[in-house]
Amino acid sequence: MAWETVIGLEVHVQLRTRTKMFCACRTSFGDPPNSNVCPVCLGLPGALPVPNAEAIRLAARAAMALGCTVHETSVFARKNYFYPDLPKGYQISQFDRPLATGGSVAFESPERGRVEVGITRLHVEEDAGKLLHDRFPAKTAVDLNRAGIPLAEIVSEPDLRSPAEARAYLTTLRQILVYAGVSECSMEQGSLRVDANLSIRRAGDTRLGTKTEVKNMNSFANVERALEAERARQAALVEAGERVHQVTLLFNAGTGQLKPIRSKQESHDYRYFPDPDLPPLVLAPGWIAEQRAALPELPDARRSRLERSFGIPAYDARVITSEAPLAGYFEAVVAAGVEPKTAANWVMGDVMTSFNEAGSFPVPAARLAALVGLVRDGVVSHQAAKRVYGEMAQLSDGDPRAVAERLGLVQVSDQGALAGWVDEVLSAHPAEVARFRGGETKLMGFFVGQVMKRSQGKADPKGVQPVLQTRLK
């Protein structure tokens, strides 16, 4: 039986603000429990929320980056439910009038080529706190540092057709949001969370099957794993003649198992209504236009621009634009005079490795350009340049020529020195000399290699060949 999988994702990202959504508490990660709290985020009697303008700005920016329409008027609403991590007994969110609606994200599907996923809506809300079950024996503790952290919830249309596609969408979504500078999007630090809705149907059906919700996935890889497991579970059910029930499932990354937490029949009626403590959020058209104008170039646009203006291969452009700083570095290297493809090779090689390790660029773009210049001018070989780069990265600076000299990697083109190495090689290989002289001219490569080896890579290969030619006459 061929089943089509239908997936929609709800992604919560923490907006990159210094303070919380409705109070002045800090948003820093990893502080001692309940150290970043105040009357507002503790829900003390009489305290009132005041919206964080920076959070609104970042959310609007995120919405624009996803091609959404940002509404001039949106409304904060109370989502009512009881839970010990929810101080007010309601979460301030947005309901029937969200900040933004109707966007899309285009990405490369591993199965279907370029795919566009609809973004239903993006709204702003506050996070809840955290229950700690392992802190005290037989007791649950509540940490409210996270309570009131600003979030944007991004809801996709059910346009995804496989777990792998869901993962690819997430990768692109994350890239866009990081580019836009709205969120760190770190799943480890809880600044990006994914809930997934999945259903299956017979290939060709247009009606949606009963969906289940999957939660508690702590990496993109685990999103894919969890959805694979859920797809298989649903298919097995249906093939056994049973029905899929609407449930919420928690994924256990250790066991790879899904465990239901509650069925939708006993689900909450959240009794949403407009929050009377917060006037409707009104954004002036001029402000919205300003924010749009301030939006940085997004990955897709940058990719095609790099391809177009620098003539680098599509693959290179994709790798280089995967992270905005990498692309910025690439452009700086090119601007410093390096031929684009050469710059791309460097960025995709040693630069990317050191960036991934350090999270920054240990060798400034101008220094790298100078190093590439040394290769071009025959001062160092390409191999030697990689060693010079490594040394420069260690020093986190250093003039490439000075480093090359200190490491003894400057190429030697002095005729006398070259002739010395050539003579040594020729006298060590009389048989090959005879064969060469007998017409086996392809042995030239062998001799060059031997000279390079004997000179420990310092001989200038361009200078070696004429000397060999003369001596082998």
Partner 1 sequence: MTAAAEQGGRGAATARDVGRALRSAESLNAVLHWSQELLDAEGARVDAMAAPGSLAGMPIAVKDNIVTVEQPTTCASRILEGYVSPYTATAVNRLRDAGAIVAAKTNLDEFAMGSSTEHSAWGRVKHPLDPDRVPGGSSGGSAALVAAGVVPAALGSETGGSVRQPASFCGVVGVKPSYGRVSRYGLVAFGSSLDAISVFGRTVDHASRVLAAMSGPDPLDATTVDRPPMRVPEPLPDLRGLRIGLPQEYFPDDLHPGVAAAMERVKDRIRELGAELREVSLPHSAYAVPTYYIVAPAEAAANLARYDGVRYGPRKVGPEGDFRAVYRATRGEGFGPEVRRRILVGTYVLSAGYYDAYYTKAQQARALIADDFRRGFDSGLDFLLTPTTPTPAFRAGEKTEDPVAMYLADIFVCAVNLSGLPALSLPVGRSEGLPVGAQLIAPFFGEERLLAAAATLERVIAADAEVR
With respect to partner 1, which residue has the nearer C-beta, 89 or 449? 89
Conformation bin of residue 194: beta by default, left when phi > 0, alpha when psi is -120 to 50: beta
Distance of CA 208 to the CA centre of its chain: 31
- Let me know: does 471 contact 423? Beta carbons within 8 Å: yes
Write down the least CB distance from residue 199 to partner 1, Å.
Answer: 23
Q: Total number of residues binding partner 1 (CB under 8 A)? A: 29
With respect to partner 1, which residue has the nearer C-beta, 271 or 453? 271
User: Which residues lie below 8 Å from residue 366, measured CB to CB, with a gap of 6+?
Assistant: 332, 336
Conformation bin of residue 171: beta by default, left when phi > 0, alpha when psi is -120 to 50: alpha
Decide if residue 278 touches partner 1 (CB under 8 A): yes
What is the 3-state secondary structure of 68-117?
A: CEECCEECEEEEECCCCCCCCCEEEEECCCCCEEEEEEEEEECCCEEEEE
| Choices 84-92, 227-235, 249-257, 375-383; region in contact with partner 1 by CB under 8 A | 84-92
Decide if residue 51 touches partner 1 (CB under 8 A): yes
| Choices 10-18, 79-87, 253-261, 284-292; region in contact with partner 1 by CB under 8 A | 79-87
Site string for partner 1, 142-161 (x = CB under 8 A): x-------------------
With 0-12 / 13-18 / 19 or more C-beta atoms within 10 angstroms meaning exposed / middle / buried, residue 242 is exposed
Q: Please identify which residue in 11, 16, 49, 436 interacts with partner 1, judged by CB under 8 A.
A: 49
Decide if residue 95 touches partner 1 (CB under 8 A): no
With respect to partner 1, which residue has the nearer C-beta, 273 or 355? 273
Q: Please identify which residue in 29, 33, 67, 80 interacts with partner 1, judged by CB under 8 A.
A: 80
Decide if residue 43 touches partner 1 (CB under 8 A): yes
- Let me know: does 52 contact 17? Beta carbons within 8 Å: yes
Site string for partner 1, 104-143 (x = CB under 8 A): ------------------------------------x-x-
Please give the single-letter amino acid code of residue 445: G
Write down the least CB distance from residue 148 to partner 1, Å.
Answer: 14
With respect to partner 1, which residue has the nearer C-beta, 84 or 378? 84
Q: Could you tell me the CA-to-CA distances from 234 to 5, 196, 266 in Å, in that order? A: 10, 14, 21
- What DSSP line would sit under 19-60, residue for residue? B-SSSS-B--TTPPTT-S--HHHHT-TT------HHHHHHHH
Q: Please identify which residue in 42, 253, 332, 407 interacts with partner 1, judged by CB under 8 A.
A: 42
Q: Please identify which residue in 30, 32, 46, 416 interacts with partner 1, judged by CB under 8 A.
A: 46
Q: Please identify which residue in 18, 31, 35, 44 interacts with partner 1, judged by CB under 8 A.
A: 44
Write down the least CB distance from residue 248 to partner 1, Å.
Answer: 18
With respect to partner 1, which residue has the nearer C-beta, 90 or 361? 90
DSSP state of 350: I
Q: Which of 63, 76, 51, 52 is nearest to 11 (CA)?
A: 63
Residue found under tokens 């006993």: 266
Write down the least CB distance from residue 95 to partner 1, Å.
Answer: 11
Q: Please identify which residue in 279, 325, 349, 466 interacts with partner 1, judged by CB under 8 A.
A: 279
Cα–Cα distance measured from residue 7 to residue 230, given in angstroms and rounded to the nearest whole number = 11
Q: Could you tell me the CA-to-CA distances from 204 to 113, 234, 334, 339, 440 in Å, in that order? A: 19, 17, 50, 50, 67
Q: Please identify which residue in 16, 61, 71, 88 interacts with partner 1, judged by CB under 8 A.
A: 88
What is the 3-state secondary structure of 388-414?
A: HHHHHHHHCCCCHHHHHHHCCCCCECC
With respect to partner 1, which residue has the nearer C-beta, 273 or 446? 273
Decide if residue 50 touches partner 1 (CB under 8 A): yes
Q: According to CB under 8 A, which residues from 246 to 275 bind partner 1?
A: 269, 271, 273, 275
| Choices 42-50, 186-194, 353-361, 390-398; region in contact with partner 1 by CB under 8 A | 42-50
Cα–Cα distance measured from residue 160 to residue 105, given in angstroms and rounded to the nearest whole number = 11
Decide if residue 209 touches partner 1 (CB under 8 A): no
Helix (H) / strand (E) element for 457: namely none
With 0-12 / 13-18 / 19 or more C-beta atoms within 10 angstroms meaning exposed / middle / buried, residue 218 is middle
Decide if residue 35 touches partner 1 (CB under 8 A): no
Interaction site with partner 1 (CB under 8 A): 39, 42-51, 78, 80, 82, 84, 87-90, 140, 142, 269, 271, 273, 275-279
